[in-house]
C-alpha cells in the first residue's frame, strides 16, 4: 500500500479539492499518511490569497527536499507535488527554484494528478499542468465522499469580478458553474452516506448559473429549493457570496426554506464608498446596508459574517472610520479581517499610495477589537436559547460530543456521544471564548434554531 500526505492551505474550496485528490489516488493504492515522513507522495495544495503565500510554500519545499534526499539515501523514492493557486500563479518558476518538485498542477487540472504521477513514476521527467478546463475537472474527479455528517460540495469556481486586490480571477480563472444534475447527484450520494448538512462552495457562489436538467439555466435560489427536497438532508449553507449577486429570489429562499441555515457570510471589505470604488467592488456602502435590511426582514433570526481588508492603498483615517461605523451599524455575529497585502499582477499592487505596515496593524487591531466584542455579545445572546445542533465528533471529555449550531458555532454537550451524526436540540448554557456549552433539550429534535 502506498502512502499519500496532503497539506492543505487556505479556504474550504481547497479542503474540498484535497479530499478529491485523495479520492482520485485511492484506486492507485494510495492511502493517507499521518506525516510527510511516511508518505510516498507529498502534495502541497496551496492558496495564493495572502502575502508571502508563495514564500511559505518555497520554505516548506526546502524542508521536503531534505526529506526526499534522506529517503533517497535509504533507498526509497518520495514524490513532491505542488497543487492549487500558487502552482497556477508560479508555474515553471516552482521547478526552477526548487528542482526537487516532480509535479506542478493548477486547481483546474487536479483530475490529471493520477496520470501525472504515472508519468513521473515511469521516469518521464517532471509533469506540469496549468490549463483552465473546469468542466473537465469536475467530470473526471471522483464525487465527494462523506466523512462525517457535514460535507462541502463545490458548485462554482472562478470569478469574473476582478476586485483590484484579488488574485482569484487569475489563479482560478473565469466563472464556471457545475451542471445541476451533477450537483443533485453528488448531494444525494452524500445524504445516502449519512450527510445531514451540505455547504455549497464557490468563490462567488451566489453568481451560480448552472445548466438545468432540461436545458435552461438555474440560479442558486432554484438549486437550493431542489436540494431542500432531498429527504434526509436537514441543513443547507452556501459560501462565499458577493453582495451584488444577492438576487430577490435568493433572499426569498432565506424566508421560505427552513433547511437554509440562518447564517450568511456576506463580505463587504470596507465601509467607505471611495475605497469600495477603488476596490472595484461594484456597490457602495448604502447598497450593502439596504441589502442587509432586506435580508433581515426576510429572515429575522439571520446572523451575518463578513470579510474586511484594512490598509487598502489610499485608505485614509476617515475611510477606516467608515468601516468601523458600518460594523457598528450591522452588528456581525462573526467576521474575518486582514491587512491588505499586495498580490503581484493585481491592479492595487501598482497603486502609489500604499499604507505603512504600522498603520495597517493599528487599524487591524482596532477593527478586530470591535468585531470580537460583537462576536462575544452574539454568543452571550444565545445563552438560554434552545438551538438545533448537528453533532459531528467526540469532545475532549468522555461522553461529550461537539456539534454546530445553526450559526456555525461549535457547541459542546456532555453525554451526547450517542448523537454523533444526528441533529438534536440543545439548551445553550454558556458562551465560551470560541464556542458554546449546553445540555440536551428534552424536546424532540427540530431542524432550525428558535432564536
Report the C-alpha gap between 424 and 233 in whole angstroms.
Answer: 14
The dihedral built from the CA positions of residue 167, 345, 84 and 63, taken in this order, carries a sign that is negative
Q: Is residue 240 a contact point for ligand SAM (CB under 6 A)?
A: yes
Q: Which three cell numbers stand for residue 325?
A: 461605523
Q: Is residue 172 a contact point for ligand SAM (CB under 6 A)?
A: no
Q: Is residue 26 a contact point for ligand SAM (CB under 6 A)?
A: no
Among 31, 37, 162, 361, interactor with ligand SF4 by CB under 6 A: 162
Contact segment (CB under 6 A) with ligand SF4 among 133-141, 156-164, 247-255, 328-336 equals: 156-164
Closest distance of CB 164 from ligand SF4, Å = 9
Please report how many Cα atoms fall inside a 13 Å half-sphere around the Cα of residue 77, on the Cβ side: 8
Give residues with Cβ within 8 angstroms of 24, minimum separation 6.
110, 111, 113, 114, 141, 142
Contact segment (CB under 6 A) with ligand SF4 among 60-68, 136-144, 161-169, 383-391 equals: 161-169
Of the pair 341, 435, the CB lying nearest ligand SAM is at 341
Q: How big is the site for ligand SAM, counted in residues (CB under 6 A)?
A: 18
Report the C-alpha gap between 182 and 189 in whole angstroms.
Answer: 11
Q: Is residue 155 a contact point for ligand SAM (CB under 6 A)?
A: no
Contact segment (CB under 6 A) with ligand SAM among 16-24, 35-43, 334-342, 441-449 equals: 334-342
The dihedral built from the CA positions of residue 147, 151, 154 and 159, taken in this order, carries a sign that is negative
Let me know if 124 is exposed, middle or buried by CB neighbors in 10 A (0-12, 13-18, 19+): exposed
The answer to whether residues 152 and 15 touch, using CB atoms and an 8 Å cutoff, is: yes
Contact segment (CB under 6 A) with ligand SAM among 60-68, 161-169, 185-193, 249-257 equals: 161-169
Give residues with Cβ within 8 angstroms of 370, minimum separation 6.
324, 327, 328
Of the pair 198, 201, the CB lying nearest ligand SAM is at 201
* Residues linked to residue 335 through DSSP beta bridges, in sequence order: 306
Q: Is residue 341 a contact point for ligand SAM (CB under 6 A)?
A: yes
Q: Which three cell numbers stand for residue 303?
A: 446572523
Closest distance of CB 62 from ligand SAM, Å = 25
Among 112, 178, 242, 254, interactor with ligand SF4 by CB under 6 A: 242
Sheet holding 79-84, edge to edge: 30-32, 2-8, 41-46, 79-84, 103-105, 127-129
Q: Is residue 159 a contact point for ligand SF4 (CB under 6 A)?
A: yes
Q: Phi, psi at residue 27, to the nearest 5°?
A: -65, -20
Q: Is residue 253 a contact point for ligand SF4 (CB under 6 A)?
A: no
Q: Is residue 163 a contact point for ligand SF4 (CB under 6 A)?
A: yes
Contact segment (CB under 6 A) with ligand SAM among 1-9, 29-37, 164-172, 399-407 equals: 164-172
Q: Which residues bind ligand SAM (CB under 6 A)?
A: 11, 49-50, 165-166, 168, 203-204, 240, 242, 267, 269, 307, 309, 338, 340-341, 343
Amino acid at each position: 500500500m502506498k502512502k499519500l500526505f496532503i497539506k492543505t492551505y487556505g479556504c474550504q474550496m481547497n479542503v474540498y479539492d484535497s479530499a478529491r485528490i485523495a479520492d482520485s489516488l485511492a484506486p492507485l493504492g494510495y492511502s493517507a499518511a499521518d506525516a510527510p515522513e511516511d508518505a510516498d507522495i507529498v502534495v502541497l495544495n496551496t492558496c495564493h490569497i495572502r502575502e508571502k503565500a508563495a514564500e511559505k510554500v518555497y520554505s516548506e519545499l526546502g524542508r521536503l527536499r531534505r526529506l526526499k534526499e534522506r529517503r533517497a539515501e535509504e533507498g526509497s523514492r518520495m514524490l513532491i507535488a505542488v497543487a492549487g493557486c500558487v502552482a497556477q500563479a508560479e508555474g515553471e518558476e516552482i521547478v526552477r527554484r526548487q528542482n526537487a518538485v516532480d509535479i506542478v498542477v493548477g486547481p483546474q487540472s487536479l483530475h490529471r494528478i493520477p496520470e501525472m504521477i504515472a508519468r513521473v513514476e515511469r521516469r518521464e521527467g517532471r509533469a506540469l499542468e496549468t490549463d483552465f478546463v473546469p468542466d473537465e475537472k469536475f467530470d473526471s474527479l471522483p464525487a465527494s465522499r462523506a466523512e462525517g455528517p457535514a460535507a462541502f460540495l463545490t458548485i462554482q469556481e472562478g470569478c469574473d469580478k476582478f476586485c483590484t486586490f484579488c488574485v482569484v480571477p487569475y489563479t482560478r480563472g473565469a466563472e464556471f458553474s457545475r451542471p445541476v444534475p451533477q450537483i443533485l447527484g453528488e448531494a444525494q450520494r452524500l445524504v445516502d452516506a449519512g450527510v445531514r448538512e451540505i455547504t455549497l462552495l464557490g468563490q462567488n457562489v451566489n453568481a451560480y448559473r448552472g445548466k438545468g436538467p432540461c436545458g435552461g439555466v438555474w440560479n442558486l435560489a432554484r438549486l437550493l429549493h431542489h436540494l431542500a427536497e432531498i429527504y434526509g438532508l436537514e441543513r443547507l449553507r452556501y459560501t462565499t457570496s458577493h453582495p451584488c449577486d444577492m438576487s430577490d429570489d435568493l433572499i426569498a429562499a432565506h424566508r421560505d426554506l427552513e433547511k437554509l441555515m440562518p447564517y450568511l457570510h456576506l463580505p463587504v471589505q470596507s465601509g467607505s464608498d471611495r475605497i469600495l470604488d477603488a476596490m472595484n467592488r461594484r456597490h457602495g456602502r448604502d447598497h450593502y446596508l439596504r441589502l442587509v435590511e432586506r435580508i433581515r426582514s426576510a429572515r429575522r433570526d439571520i446572523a451575518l459574517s463578513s470579510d474586511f481588508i484594512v490598509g487598502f492603498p489610499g485608505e485614509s483615517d476617515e475611510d477606516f472610520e467608515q468601516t468601523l461605523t458600518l460594523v457598528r451599524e450591522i452588528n456581525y455575529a462573526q467576521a474575518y479581517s486582514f491587512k491588505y497585502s499586495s498580490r503581484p499582477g493585481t491592479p492595487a499592487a501598482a497603486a502609489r499610495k500604499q499604507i505603512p505596515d504600522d498603520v495597517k496593524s493599528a487599524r487591524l487591531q482596532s477593527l478586530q477589537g470591535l468585531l470580537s466584542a460583537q462576536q462575544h455579545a452574539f454568543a452571550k445572546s444565545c445563552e438560554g436559547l434552545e438551538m438545533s445542533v448537528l453533532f459531528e465528533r467526540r469532545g475532549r471529555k468522555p461522553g461529550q460530543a461537539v456539534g454546530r449550531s445553526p450559526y456555525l458555532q461549535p457547541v459542546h454537550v456532555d453525554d451526547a456521544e450517542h448523537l454523533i451524526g444526528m441533529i438534536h436540540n440543545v439548551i445553550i448554557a454558556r458562551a465560551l471564548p470560541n464556542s458554546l456549552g449546553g445540555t440536551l433539550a428534552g424536546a424532540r429534535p427540530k431542524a432550525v434554531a428558535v432564536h
